[in-house]
């Protein structure tokens, strides 16, 4: 059985000085180790590294260092390690209100861990009620992105989050509302609520390429190919990328309209938009 001394050494990442409390150099080393760990594609390797980094945080009294907590929380997202994320987040509170950055990372971890839309909403309510979180645009876009794959089942939760975003004033902030509104379009589209999706799209003050493509995909997903073609014709040329063209080509091909799919392909070539493998598959 390993001795206490051996076990303690196992907690220390390689090449790190051990007993230097509150050392700026050690904080930087821990941050760099976490950054290196974030490049790993193995969740189990990330979890093992998190064990050591979390221990170093506690041993050296760095639990109040939010930049380190944020880096470790970003690793819990990759590892889908919700219990670890909760324990790291608790280290940051009090003070109140909770840091939106840390809270958003916690919510992202909950989403990647497979939490249901209702569980995520309950999580958000607890963060707001118990820790004084003031949700921002990233809070709402994170949750809405997690809701979209649930389709019709996420519709009531998406509506509830939409109402909360309106009440919080986030949608009135011109610079931040675009991501939230695009995510709302995606949630309504995945639930086949085209009217709500189009209303959210029309309410956007500025529309990025992602918003146009999201609405276009919604029409195609609901087999409204004629509506999709009309919407595509309304798109500014600067907003049509390979995703836009491929969506329309695939929509026409799947609807049994191969001539229109081929015509769109040649129009894409004429517009000097480079096709990719997905485009060619959609055309078949």
The pLDDT assigned to 264 comes to 94
d(CA 53, CA 30): 7
Which sequence spans correspond to the domains of the chain?
Answer: 1-92, 96-206, 225-284
- Contact between 212 and 185 (Cβ < 8 Å): no
Q: Is the dihedral of CA 68, 73, 79, 82 positive or negative?
A: positive
d(CA 150, CA 155): 8
Return per-residue pLDDT of the chain as tens, 284 residues. 445 444 444 444 455 444 444 478 888 888 998 999 988 888 889 999 999 999 988 888 888 888 999 999 999 999 989 999 998 898 877 666 788 899 999 999 999 988 899 999 998 998 988 888 899 999 999 999 999 988 888 899 999 999 999 998 888 776 678 889 999 999 998 898 999 999 999 998 888 899 999 999 999 988 999 999 999 999 998 889 999 999 999 999 999 999 999 999 999 999 999 988 998 888 87
24 burial via Cβ count (<10 Å: 0-12, 13-18, 19+): exposed
166 burial via Cβ count (<10 Å: 0-12, 13-18, 19+): exposed
Helix, strand, coil fractions of the chain, as percent rounded to 5: 75, 0, 25
């Amino acid at each position: 059985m390993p001795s206490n001394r051996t076990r303690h050494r196992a907690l220390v990442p390689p090449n790190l000085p051990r007993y230097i409390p509150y050392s700026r150099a050690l904080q930087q080393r821990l941050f760099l180790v976490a950054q290196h760990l974030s490049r790993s594609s193995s969740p189990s390797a990330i979890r093992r590294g998190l064990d050591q980094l979390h221990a170093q945080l506690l041993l050296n009294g760095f639990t109040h260092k939010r930049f380190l907590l944020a880096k470790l929380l970003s690793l819990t997202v990759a590892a889908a390690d919700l219990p670890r994320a909760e324990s790291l987040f608790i280290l940051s509170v009090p003070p109140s209100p909770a840091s939106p950055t840390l809270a958003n990372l916690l919510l992202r971890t909950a989403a990647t861990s497979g939490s249901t839309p209702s569980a995520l909403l309950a999580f958000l309510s607890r963060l707001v009620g118990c820790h004084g979180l003031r949700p921002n645009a990233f809070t709402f876009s994170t949750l809405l992105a997690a809701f979209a794959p649930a389709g019709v089942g996420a519709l009531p939760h998406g509506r509830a989050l939409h109402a909360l975003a309106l009440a919080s004033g986030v949608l009135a902030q011109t610079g931040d509302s675009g991501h939230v509104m695009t995510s709302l379009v995606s949630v309504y589209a995945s639930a086949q609520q085209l009217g709500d999706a189009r209303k959210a799209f029309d309410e956007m003050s500025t529309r990025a390429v992602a918003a146009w493509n999201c609405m276009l995909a919604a029409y195609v997903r609901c087999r409204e190919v004629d509506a999709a073609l009309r919407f595509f014709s309304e798109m500014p040329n600067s907003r049509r990328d390979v995703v836009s063209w491929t969506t329309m080509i695939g929509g026409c091909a799947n609807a049994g309209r191969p001539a229109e799919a081929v015509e769109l392909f040649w129009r894409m070539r004429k517009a000097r938009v480079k096709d990719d493998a997905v485009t060619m598959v959609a055309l078949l």
